[in-house]
Structure 1
Amino acid sequence: MKEPTGGFGAGVATLVHGFGYWRRRPRTMSLGLIPAAIASVLLFAALVALGVSLPALADLVTPFADGWPSLWAGILRVAVGTAMLGAAIVLAAVSFTALTLVIGDPFYERIWRAVEGDLGTPDIEDTTGFWRAARDGLALFLRGIVCAIIAALCGLVPVVGGLIGFVVAVGMSGWLLADELTTRGLAARGILAPERRALRRRHRARVLGFGVATQLCFLVPLGAVVTMPAAVAGATALARELLAGAPTAVSEPAASADRR
């Protein structure tokens, strides 16, 4: 099926659109820093611990290579360590998103409502709720485990495994991020999960562009904290774009109300 108007680049542009809300609605967006910072600290500590113990973990899971020549044992263990790192990228991304959305659901709902209002639907009702957000977060984490295993296996490919594992990790985690972040806007319009999945598949390149751009921003030091509110704002616009098939536009006078 031919990709509808607006592909990968349009998805990236939607995230840029979300960053624009830091100028339009600075006070509302700043609320999203709190849960993102909490989740970032927790996951950063976990990743540092993983990085420190990675050589030991690689040795632990490859005891059969102890009797190999040092060159081949080293190559194998670097590949295994790279695979673990690729898996960690996926798990960190989805865990960060899931944890942040659960912790900060009231804050991100305010961002969502602000963007919906600027785009012409101020009275739309959120049907998510805390427990549904928690359930969706757990489902996202479990799906992330599956994707992490796939990324880890890709990382075992000789020579180019590190690059392949990284690309797969970023692509798969980006898709999961976009999937989860657009759920609120689509569910609020009465679109059920199977229909949401079908809609995202029809606009696969755009959704992937948004998700990959978000994931790459997450990899920048402190980028996840600043990006998360922008990703929520951008995903709100993206949900509308998927339904309309064209980029949304914001009225600047209405969007600037937050600065007063």
Structure 2
Amino acid sequence: MGDLGAGFEQLVKGQRWVAAHGRSYGLGLLPGLLTLVLYAAALTSLALWGSELVGWATPFADDWSSPWQGLFRGLLTVVLFALALLLSVLTFTAVTLLVGQPFYEKLSERVDRSVSPDGLAPESGLPLLRELWISARDSLRILLRAGLWGVLLFACGFVPVAGQTVVPVVGIFVTGFFLTEELTAIALQRRGVELRERLALLRSHKRLVWGFGAPLAATFLVPFVAVFLMPGAVAGATLLARRLLGEESGEAEAVRAGAAGAARAEVAGGEWRSGG
């Protein structure tokens, strides 16, 4: 429970940090509010017309007798909305971070300066457009991975008993991992940590990552909560990134070397399996 608790501690510290810095918190709310309006409109449309969409997609059930047609299409409508809700949680952070990149970048820098002994924050030195391109590219790659997990969990949801008990719990942890990757990417990109290296770093500290991301993913399922927690989540992810890289203990170089080695090993393993 140690690493799980430590991960959750970083999340709480982030929320406390923004609570003590009202101006940073206010700026951090704007991108989330805009994204929330877009997602709410999409989910509301699905709730209103989801049954019509399911009916259009299942013409083979038009001749089914009652009550089987209604039960079948009703179940598919519920599952479709649940999948859309899961994908909303998986993608909300990525879209919000992309929309609010300049805001969250500044917020993350302020957190770094406030806890750094020398009062300085790492800087990427890249132009804003280049940073936005890298962020969008990496977010798309993560969303594809998350989407594959979403489809797999969606399919497993039809398994009796396990689909209604085990699968939702697994979904929270999977979502938490990808949320943490998206959030820590802000601080890690400024330190020049590439996507593959970031993933290797997070995988080597799964319990710490789950401790941070799983509670966040669970709370993000509650309507509107994600918007108000996002600034604190960015601040907490910055603190988590410092811990993952060993900056708190002065072991940053060793940690970076280990993550880079793991990333190279992953690439080599993929090339070997593909015969490259």
**Which band: TM-score by shorter chain?**
0.7 to 0.9
C-alpha change, 1:45 and 1:27, in structure 2 (3 Å) is same
Residue of structure 2 in register with 1:251 after alignment: none
Q: Is 1:217 matched up with 2:215? A: no
Residue of structure 2 in register with 1:8 after alignment: 4
The Cα RMSD (Å) is 2.6
Contact (CA 8 Å) 2:124, 2:192: kept in 1 or not? Answer: no
Taking the aligned partners of 1:195 and 1:179, their CA distance within structure 2 comes to: 11
Q: Report deviation, 1:20.
A: 0.4
Q: Report deviation, 1:245.
A: 9.1
Q: Is 1:196 matched up with 2:195? A: no
Q: How is 1:59-208 mapped onto 2 (pairs within 5 angstroms)?
A: 59-68=55-64, 70-120=66-116, 122-126=120-124, 129-158=131-160, 161-208=163-210
Q: Report deviation, 1:71.
A: 4.9
Instruction: Read off the aligned partner of 2:13 and give its amino acid letter.
Output: H
C-alpha change, 1:192 and 1:95, in structure 2 (3 Å) is closer
Residue of structure 1 in register with 2:253 after alignment: none
Q: Is 1:44 matched up with 2:40? A: yes
Instruction: Read off the aligned partner of 2:92 and give its amino acid letter.
Output: F
Q: Report deviation, 1:55.
A: 2.7
C-alpha change, 1:64 and 1:161, in structure 2 (3 Å) is farther
- Point out the more displaced range, 34-43 or 222-231: 222-231
When the two structures are superposed, what TM-score results if normalisation uses the length of structure 2? 0.77
Residue of structure 2 in register with 1:233 after alignment: 235
Residue of structure 2 in register with 1:250 after alignment: none
Q: Unaligned regions of 5+ residues in structure 2, if any?
A: 250-276
Instruction: Read off the aligned partner of 2:122 and give its amino acid letter.
Output: I
Contact (CA 8 Å) 2:138, 2:195: kept in 1 or not? Answer: no
Contact (CA 8 Å) 1:83, 1:165: kept in 2 or not? Answer: no
Q: Report deviation, 1:6.
A: 3.4
Contact (CA 8 Å) 1:94, 1:140: kept in 2 or not? Answer: no
> For 1:75-100, what per-residue CA distance to the aligned partner results, in whole angstroms no more than 9, with x for missing partners?
54344334323321232123321221
C-alpha change, 1:48 and 1:62, in structure 2 (3 Å) is same
Taking the aligned partners of 2:162 and 2:75, their CA distance within structure 1 comes to: 9
C-alpha change, 1:13 and 1:234, in structure 2 (3 Å) is same
Taking the aligned partners of 1:113 and 1:25, their CA distance within structure 2 comes to: 13
> For 1:138-170, what per-residue CA distance to the aligned partner results, in whole angstroms no more than 9, with x for missing partners?
333333332321222122224553445533433
Contact (CA 8 Å) 1:84, 1:152: kept in 2 or not? Answer: no
Residue of structure 1 in register with 2:17 after alignment: 21
Q: Report deviation, 1:64.
A: 3.5
- Point out the more displaced range, 81-90 or 35-44: 81-90
Instruction: Indicate the SS of the match to 1:182.
Output: helix
Instruction: Indicate the SS of the match to 2:122.
Output: coil
C-alpha change, 1:185 and 1:114, in structure 2 (3 Å) is same
Instruction: Read off the aligned partner of 2:215 and give its amino acid letter.
Output: A
Instruction: Indicate the SS of the match to 1:32.
Output: helix
Taking the aligned partners of 1:158 and 1:66, their CA distance within structure 2 comes to: 26
Q: Unaligned regions of 5+ residues in structure 1, if any?
A: 248-260
Taking the aligned partners of 1:204 and 1:93, their CA distance within structure 2 comes to: 20
Flag the structure with larger Rg.
2
C-alpha change, 1:154 and 1:181, in structure 2 (3 Å) is same
Q: How many residues align?
A: 243
C-alpha change, 1:246 and 1:220, in structure 2 (3 Å) is farther
Contact (CA 8 Å) 1:177, 1:211: kept in 2 or not? Answer: yes
Give the percent of matched residue pairs that are identical in Structure 1 and Structure 2. Answer: 39
Taking the aligned partners of 1:208 and 1:71, their CA distance within structure 2 comes to: 43
Instruction: Read off the aligned partner of 1:125 and give its amino acid letter.
Output: E
Taking the aligned partners of 1:88 and 1:17, their CA distance within structure 2 comes to: 31
Instruction: Indicate the SS of the match to 2:223.
Output: coil
Taking the aligned partners of 2:161 and 2:59, their CA distance within structure 1 comes to: 21
Contact (CA 8 Å) 2:15, 2:232: kept in 1 or not? Answer: yes
